[in-house]
Chain A
């Protein structure tokens, strides 16, 4: 549909406003991360751009530098102890391990399940699909307390064994991600006509060969999109990670510890927060095209 000129302009203005509204907090966060303490905590005015940028917050959180030393080197602020507590390198590794692990598990299971749901007729398929979706309606907090108990009994907490702790988090993230991942993957498989499977079978392919050599390569964009979505969820998840682990501190949980009884370290919070956006941002850029198609669940064509 062609819009008339005034409507076009209005549409563009609204689009810019909405985007600005959503982008502003991120911009503010990024700004805060490079502000010196004096600019963050200026009690007389809001500082926008007139400050001397500093990398101290990144240095401390991402590189494990000592804050007191940096502060003295750069001649700003007073030295504060306890720099160790702000070194987030271990958290970044924890988050990476858990997110990549759970994404891999989820993607493999979701791709296989979705192919079956899309292609094979079996008793209770529709019910199963609804049930899968139903899982997603449950808020994690509703199952949190039993889950902690189950994890403790099953030895999936990091208090006993660090590796079991990683495994535990991967498992719960995989479980939470599976419904949406299965549905998303199913919509991608549904977009590939069944005739293609049949053509491959007539060409002499077995079911497995049809899946591996024909259908899977045709949905690889969809697989990437699904994986990114799972990754982002695991990367940003806070509640379960907070309750199920003690030693392992994923990035969101780590950031929360910067809110202390002696004050909020806004600079560190902003630096780690900004840095944490970057992987998601890159992945989203890479699979954007497929995501839009997948999330409309196949209702748009090309």
Chain B
């Protein structure tokens, strides 16, 4: 087990800089998720920690040791790849024991470790099969088995579930989480799926274009996004964001509608802002802002109402069984203590 420290790390491919100075502390035993849209540099950062990609400048430390020039095999890490990267010509047993074989461990120890990993991952019936004879989920488990037999200091996962179907993904998500609870090995997990990040992480690191936008626990980043990007990226359906200017008793949007603000807020009068409200905090009410219904989507427990409010489409969620049709007029009211305000220019939250 070990902590991982990333200090002022930059990465250039030729003349193109793709990671612009990342500072990140990963505590011993924690489960950290790197989250961000495609191409933001998540894999690059992970691969620099693994030693598969050179570090242009800055330092990576594992367990307090600077590892910039240490070969991947000497970093005491294990990695699980998106496409599993199993050794197709080896049986499951040999896939899992390959690293121990290379390290010339005694056969008894190898057998014991493989049996232990197979038991944890429910792979016992498949030890003598080839990877091609397994399902996607089983292959994923073999890849994880290969990682855990070595008892590494750090696990690195690069979108390990994105090749699986939705149902299996949910199941494997739980399994990985359980595995972490059990082994308590420091884990860095890359994904672009925010649900995966929310459900699994101790700490989420949100990246955009090679820069960290916010670091925090899942609920911190959900409840208190520090900027527009995070507000938009986390949550599904996404937070409603309406541009406007601060007036005396609220925020005036394009068509003149004034959206309410709580008595205490940090915005200056006349300031151009983005008014953010999560769908679950925007409810139909007797008296609120007028909105015209566009689409109604019942999901079962709730109804998602998409409506035109002040010239923009917003989403509101309610568990009331409302009967609504297109073009119906409704009143929508935000929960005053759940309103987010962002400066339009900088995108920063006005806390």
On A, residues with C-beta under 8 Å from B are: 193, 195-196, 198-206, 209, 213-214, 217-218, 220
A203 pairs with B81, CB closer than 8 A: no
Given A202-B72, A202-B78, A204-B73, CB of A195 within 8 Å of CB of B102: no
A199 pairs with B102, CB closer than 8 A: no
Chain A residues near B108 (CB-CB < 8 A): none
Chain B residues near A214 (CB-CB < 8 A): 87
Chain A residues near B51 (CB-CB < 8 A): 202
20 extra interface residue pairs, beta carbon distance < 8 Å, beyond A205-B98, A206-B73:
A195-B81, A195-B83, A195-B85, A196-B86, A196-B87, A198-B50, A198-B72, A198-B85, A199-B81, A199-B146, A200-B98, A201-B52, A201-B71, A202-B52, A202-B78, A203-B73, A204-B102, A209-B102, A213-B98, A220-B89
Given A201-B73, A203-B146, A204-B73, CB of A218 within 8 Å of CB of B88: yes
Q: Chain B 80-94 against A: per-residue CB contact (8 Å), 1 yes, 0 no?
A: 011101111100000
Counting CB contacts under 8 A, is B201 at the interface?
Answer: no
A196 CA to B79 CA in the complex, in Å? Answer: 11
A206: shortest Cβ distance to chain B, in Å?
A: 8
Counting CB contacts under 8 A, is B77 at the interface?
Answer: yes
What are 5 pairs between A and B in contact, CB < 8 Å? A195-B83, A195-B85, A199-B81, A199-B86, A206-B73
Counting CB contacts under 8 A, is B103 at the interface?
Answer: yes
Q: Which 10 pairs, one residue from A and one from B, show the smallest C-beta to C-beta distance? A: A195-B85, A203-B99, A199-B85, A204-B73, A217-B89, A204-B102, A195-B81, A196-B85, A202-B72, A204-B99
A193 CA to B84 CA in the complex, in Å? Answer: 10
* Chain B binding surface SS class: loop
Chain A residues near B146 (CB-CB < 8 A): 199, 203
B interface residues, how many (CB within 8 angstroms): 23
B79 pairs with A204, CB closer than 8 A: no
On B, residues with C-beta under 8 Å from A are: 50-52, 71-73, 77-79, 81-83, 85-89, 98-99, 102-103, 146, 150
A205 pairs with B73, CB closer than 8 A: yes
Closest to B143 in A: A199
Given A196-B85, A218-B89, CB of A202 within 8 Å of CB of B102: no
Chain A residues near B72 (CB-CB < 8 A): 198, 201-202
A200 pairs with B87, CB closer than 8 A: yes
Given A198-B52, A217-B89, CB of A203 within 8 Å of CB of B83: no
B73 pairs with A202, CB closer than 8 A: yes
A199 pairs with B79, CB closer than 8 A: yes
Closest to A201 in B: B72
B52: shortest Cβ distance to chain A, in Å?
A: 5
Chain B residues near A206 (CB-CB < 8 A): 73
A196 CA to B82 CA in the complex, in Å? Answer: 11
